[in-house]
Amino acid sequence: MVDVRALAALLALGAFLGLAGCEDPTDTADADVSDDVQDVADAADADVVEAPPNPLFDPSGEISVVELVSASTGAVARSEVAAHMAAGPLPNLQRFVAASGDCQLWTRPQAACDPPCNAFTQSCVPGGVCEDLPEPRSAGDITITGGTAQLDLGYVGNGLYAADTDPPTNAFDAGATLTVSAAGEDIAAFQATVTGVADLTDDFGTIALSDGSPYTLNWTPAGGGATVEVVLQLGWHANPPEAVITCSAPDSAGSIVIASELVEGFPYFSGLGLFQVPSWIQRVSRTDVQTASGVVTVFAASRQGLTVTHAE
């Protein structure tokens, strides 16, 4: 009989290694995209500025409950619960390029390490340096209460967790207080609360970026003090994104504007390709827990996948 939790851990490990930069050097599917990203990176060499905090790259661990909304129906299709822990953040493969308004642009310069890095324990970071991956950590069993059902996650190795059972389709109600409790092991026991957010049901269509023009995403505010985050990514599956635009604004704002200079720095892309890394928009409530291993971010979100294009 298949051990579902172990299988989930293996799948998550594959994704983790992709984010850590363990890619197939013979894979040329993204060659044109990589060239575009390198052009952006080279142009920015003379004006590198300190990177601002970014929830995609900075945390050492994450615990999340996410309701996935179908763009076609506007209803929650399913929910996911996940967690991972490490002794520090992953090596930073992305270079901060620019920020404007609520958004930031990051790109991944090509990096070549000689001799090659150990693909299982290191990443080749910009500058051609092999940087060690953080050691996996466990915070003991994790329990999430306050939603429509109690969620229990067990540690399965390599810093990864898997739920004993799948969460309900609707994992939480808007306004519910979700309490996340970690029993403690390598990382000491901790507890955090986040608020269940309202479903993000707006129809966003295709995010069609065009040089010379800003792009505005609009949504219907739901109240309750949540945040809306946008993540636009470009790159091939199981590898780190080639480029990322990430934005964050109060839900009450009702819109996010991606400035034209950030659009122009994002590589050209004609449409959703097979196995592209995902892009999304989410209404989210999050809190950060400071541990001896670094920040563990805890969040509840209502998320929609996005399709992105970028033409001249």
**Residue 252 token pair:** 């009450």
Mean pLDDT of 58-79: 95
Instruction: Give the pLDDT confidence of 157-182 residue by residue, as tens digits.
Output: 999 999 999 999 999 999 999 999 99
Mean pLDDT of 208-223: 95
User: What is the model's pLDDT at position 1?
Assistant: 37
Residues 273 and 250: their CA atoms lie apart, in Å, by 31
Q: Residue 217: is it exposed, middle or buried by C-beta count within 10 angstroms (0-12/13-18/19+)?
A: buried
User: What is the model's pLDDT at position 111?
Assistant: 83
Residue 283 has pLDDT above 50, yes or no: yes
Residue 8 has pLDDT above 90, yes or no: no
Half-sphere exposure of 70 (CA within 13 A, CB side): 9
Residues 104 and 189: their CA atoms lie apart, in Å, by 34
Residue 249 has pLDDT above 70, yes or no: yes
- What does pLDDT average to over the chain? 85
pLDDT classification of 2: cutoffs 50, 70, 90: very low
